[in-house]
Structure 1
Amino acid sequence: MTRISTHIMFQGQGVEALNLYASTFPDFKILAREDYGADDMGPAGTIKLATIEFNGAILQVIDSPIPHAFDLTPSMSLFVDCDSEDELTWVFATLSEGGEVMMPLDNYGFSQRFGWCRDRFGLSWQINLP
C-alpha cells in the first residue's frame, strides 16, 4: 500500500463544497480535478474526480453521476485541530452556516474548546482547540 485517502461522494454539490472549503482553509489546494463533460455519465461541470489537500490531509471528492438513497453520515467526521480560539470560532461558524450544529462550541473536558457540526453539504466536522 502507498496511501489511504478519504473519499467523499457528493450528489451534485461538489463544486460548491470545494469553494466553501477553499474559503475556510487558507492552505487548501486542488491537486487534480476532472469534471464531467457534455457526453459523460454525470451532469456537465460536476466533479468526476478531484484530489484536494488542506491541513495535511489528502481527500478525493466526486459528484456521483447516479442518485443514491444514502448520503453522508456524522459517524464519519473530519477532525480539525485549531491553533487559536479565533481560528476555532471562525472555522466552526463558517462550516456550520446553513448546516447543523450537533455540539456547540464549549469545553467538554477533553480539550479547551470543541464543536461538532455538519456543513450544508452533509459533511461532518469536529473542530477542536487542544
Structure 2
Amino acid sequence: MQAITTYFNFLGNTEEAMNFYKSVFGGEFTSFTRFKDAPGSENMPPHERDKIMNIILTTKSGAILMATDFLESMEQKVMLGNNIHLVIHADSEEEVDTLFKALSAGGKIEMPVNKTFWGAYFGMCEDRFGIKWMLSYTYPAGN
C-alpha cells in the first residue's frame, strides 16, 4: 500500500472549502476536474456541470486532501458519516481486490471495483463499522 489519504464530500461548496484548506495548509492543487470534463456530462443538469468532480490538494508537507461535490440530481446528501472517505492508494490491482474484498465483507459495496476513464482501478465500499473506503490503483502512464 502506498498511502491512505482523506476524501471529503461537500454539497456544492467544494471549491470554497478546498481554497480555504489551501490557505491554511499551503501547497498546490495537483488535480482539478469538474463534472463537465467527464464523459456523459452533457446529460447532467446544467447547474451541476461546473461542480467539482475531483480536486487534490497536495500540501507543502506532502499531505494529500481530496474532495468532490455531491450532486442533488444523484440524490446525494451530505450528512455525518458520509462526508469523508479514507482512500487507499494500492500498489496493484490485486491489492485493491484483496483489500476491497476484506473491507466490504459484512458491509456495503457502493461502487464495484472496475477500470475507470481517469486511468485507475477503483472501487468504493463501507465496512461493517460504517467507515467509508475508496480503493485505487493508478495505472502507469501509457497504459
Q: TM-score range by the shorter chain?
A: 0.3 to 0.5
TM-score of the aligned structures, taking structure 1 as reference length: 0.46
Higher relative contact order (CA 8 A, sep 6+): 2
